Amino acid sequence: MSDTVIEVLGLRKRYGDFTAVDGVSFDVHAGEVFALLGTNGAGKTTTIEILEGYLRPSGGTVRVFGEDPAGHRAPRARIGLVLQESGLFGDLSAAETVAAWSRFTTGARPVAEALELVGLSGQARTRVKRMSGGERRKLDIALATLGSPDLLFLDEPTTGLDPEARHRVRDLVRDLAAGGMTVLLTTHYLEEAQELAGRVAIMDKGRIVTQGTMAEVLGRGSGRVAFELPDDTALEGLPVGERDALTVTGRRCVIVTAEPESVAHAVLGWAHARGVRLSGLDVRQATLEEVFLDIAGAHGEEVRT
């Protein structure tokens, strides 16, 4: 059996004359967390709604577990959804909410177990309207995972939560993924995607502009090598490549480069040859946020020309 859970090939979606999704292709494999990221209006929700079977594509093919999600044979029981807006009833307690949902869920796990899985055992009797935003989000996830789906769609699961609640929801997603669940995640918190996802696609204006493993995508951004030179050392001969950018502020040098490791190696060799000791050495790859901002910046320039 193939381990491809989601296949998207040349997907297009038009709303009247407007093309919201313009030839998107990607695969999601069993057991991975795949992050679909992008600027506002890039086409993420449209893509996800097609995968969920709510919208029909204008072109291209989409398969979820080998089936057309818009078709009657869509394997709904294998899929859990956490939508951007949850539809919980304020007057029900957490346990009552899960119990009510269980009636519509094939193979639902017991209520106590479902609450425990998301760390809500202590809130079993708390009414939804008294629960915090983070607790409600966890309840959403408890409902989406009640029937132990193989695939979970998580559309902005931590939007609007405080940092601590975000961390708790992230830990929960990590645990679910570690248990073998396949997760398709959208989020505007790029550190969240960097932390959770093994592979990532970044969309802009209906197209995927970069995709790959997290390491591949991070490697396409610019990293940096920073250090401090002792007072009496000149910069002469510092190995800065043609495509690298050096900024010096006082004694602090920052080299922005696509290859931070090899630049750091060369800088250390340069310092060693001069008997110079560098302090405050900091070598790091681009963050996902920096890669994203590069893409958003390139998009802005394209619009101006």
Ligand X SMILES: Nc1ncnc2c1ncn2[C@@H]1O[C@H](COP(=O)(O)OP(=O)(O)OP(=O)(O)O)[C@@H](O)[C@H]1O
Q: Which of 35, 42, 51, 114 binds ligand X (CB under 6 A)?
A: 42
Minimum CB separation of residue 41 from ligand X in Å reads 4
List of E strands, 30-172? 33-38, 59-64, 79-82, 151-155
Q: Which of 1, 17, 40, 303 binds ligand X (CB under 6 A)?
A: 40
Told to check if 41 binds ligand X by CB under 6 A, we report: yes
61, β-bridge pairs: 9
Told to check if 44 binds ligand X by CB under 6 A, we report: yes
Q: How far apart are the first and last CA of the chain?
A: 48
Number of residues that bind ligand X (CB under 6 A): 11
Q: Which is nearer to ligand X, 57 or 260 (CB)?
A: 57
Residues of span 3-32 touching ligand X by CB under 6 A? 15, 18, 20
Minimum CB separation of residue 74 from ligand X in Å reads 20
Q: Which is nearer to ligand X, 44 or 170 (CB)?
A: 44
- The number of CA neighbours under 13 Å toward the Cβ of 91 is 0
Told to check if 187 binds ligand X by CB under 6 A, we report: no
Residue 302's CB: how many other CB atoms inside 10 A?
10
SS3 category, 275: coil
Minimum CB separation of residue 19 from ligand X in Å reads 9
Q: Which of 6, 11, 32, 43 binds ligand X (CB under 6 A)?
A: 43
Q: Which residue's entry shows tokens 């951004």? A: 221
Segment near ligand X (CB under 6 A); pick from 22-30, 42-50, 192-200, 254-262: 42-50
Told to check if 46 binds ligand X by CB under 6 A, we report: yes
Told to check if 38 binds ligand X by CB under 6 A, we report: yes
In whole angstroms, give the CA distance from residue 245 to residue 263: 11
CA 25 to chain centre: 17
Residues 31, 182 contacting (CB under 8 angstroms): yes
Per-residue tokens: 15: 């709303």
Residues engaged in binding ligand X (CB under 6 A): 15, 18, 20, 38, 40-46
